[in-house]
Amino acid sequence: MSLRRKISALASAAVLACMMGTAQAAEFEIRGSHSESVESPLHKGWLVFEAYVESASGGRIAVNISPAGQLGGIKDGLEQAKVGAIQMAHGDEQTLDSFYRPMMILATPYLFANDEEAQRFLHSAFFMGVREQMAKESGLRLLAAASYGFRCFTNNVKPIRSAADMKGIRMRVPPSPMSLAMVEAMGGSPTPVPWEELYGAMQSGVVDGQENPVGVALDYSFDQVQKHMTLDNHQLGLNSLVMNEAFYQSLPPELRAIVVTGAEMAAATEYGERNYQARVSAVGALQKKGMEVYAPNLEEQETFRQAVAGPMQVYLKKELDPAYVDAVYKEIADLRAAALK
């Protein structure tokens, strides 16, 4: 063998040894799945999680992310995490209740006055207890959650200025009983469509409209298939990082702390960018693209709240422990009062 070939062979062997050493150094692997694009604020947050966890653990944890629905939709990912096929998945306010019923409360229309109030609730001692109970009963641990803005209605039929304008509109909703009940209470025709099929359903006219935060409408070019947007802010959009509980408990305490910190950093990253979109950039960008954006006045906003308030209370107390529902509302009222002091 020539000297050049010997050097090349030795170099290749060194690279292989290095790669093997790196693989062997990772004691744990976190395989994660989410359904959003690699350009989304959510994915940017997950990249922060990956970078932080691998670095802070000194290479003891390797993180591998499958984005953009490569492993299926949101519910698919959560099901895979539940059985341990992967270790971490993307949850949202519309799907967590399929795995732990009390999480349904998070999708209640007009539950929170603003993002800041929601963040205080999510980090409250009360809700931390709910998260622990979810881990015990479902096998899934909610590591962190990030607001991606309040959900707003868009449609191709007419401007929606009050709840009465919803009548007859085929409004796409996620496969969530709460969303179905909300649109029905307003007089609309709720039509469940998976996220992955939403754009095509609007484009083909299967549905007249949909409801998502402003930033999502911009990111996914809904302006190309929707004419009208109403800033009614009916539900808090909430993305979460969810981990298989058995895997979480298998980690040494110091690595669990790193994983939780990384998840909080991911949530903060997504929240920061989405907050900027919702408050500054996205509405103007959609208007420039031709979408008509309407902000209901206080009287019009109240028509939406009044339309759903009674039906939602009845629905929640039918589906959940009434004492739990009352406790949630009391906790939020207490947090709201404390914020005013």
Maximum distance among all Cα pairs of the chain, rounded to whole angstroms:
86
Whether residue 178 has pLDDT greater than 90: no
Number of domains in the chain: 1
**What pLDDT score was predicted for residue 7?**
36
- Give the range of the structural domain holding residue 319, as residue numbers without chain letter: 26-340
Residue 88: inside a domain: yes
- Quick check: is 47 in a domain? yes
| Residue tagged 């609007």 (tokens) | 202
In a domain, 18, yes or no: no
61 neighbors 258 (Cβ within 8 angstroms): yes
Closest CA to 198 of 230, 226, 169, 158: 226
Percent above pLDDT 70 for the chain: 93
On average, the pLDDT of the chain sits at: 91
Closest CA relative to residue 270, chosen from 149, 174, 142, 116: 149
- E strands, 93-188, in order: 140-155, 170-173
Whether 245 is in a domain gets the answer yes
pLDDT band at 22 (very low <50, low <70, confident <90, very high): very low
64: left (phi over 0), alpha (psi -120 to 50) or beta: beta
Q: For the domain that residue 78 is a member of, what is the CATH number?
A: 3.40.190.170
Of the candidates 92, 71, 94, 93, the one whose C-alpha atom is nearest the C-alpha of residue 83 is 71
**pLDDT value for 94:** 82
Does residue 6 register a pLDDT over 60?
no
Residue 183 clears pLDDT 60, i.e. is over it:
yes
Domain assignment present for residue 10? The answer is no
Helix (H) or strand (E) holding 64: strand 61-66
pLDDT exceeds 50 at position 158:
yes
Q: Is there a domain that residue 15 lies in?
A: no
Query: Rounded distance, CA 187 to CA 52, Å?
Result: 47
Determine phi and psi for 241, rounding to 5 degrees.
Answer: -100, 120
The least confident of 75-84, 120-129, 177-186, 258-267 is 177-186
Residue 252 CB partners (closer than 8 Å, separation 6+): none
pLDDT average, residue stretch 275-284: 87
In-domain check, residue 14: no
Going from the C-alpha of 309 to that of each of 149, 196, 304, 313, 323, the distances in angstroms are 21, 30, 9, 6, 18
Percent of the chain with pLDDT over 90: 81
Residue 58: which region, alpha, beta or left (left: phi > 0; alpha: psi -120 to 50)?
left
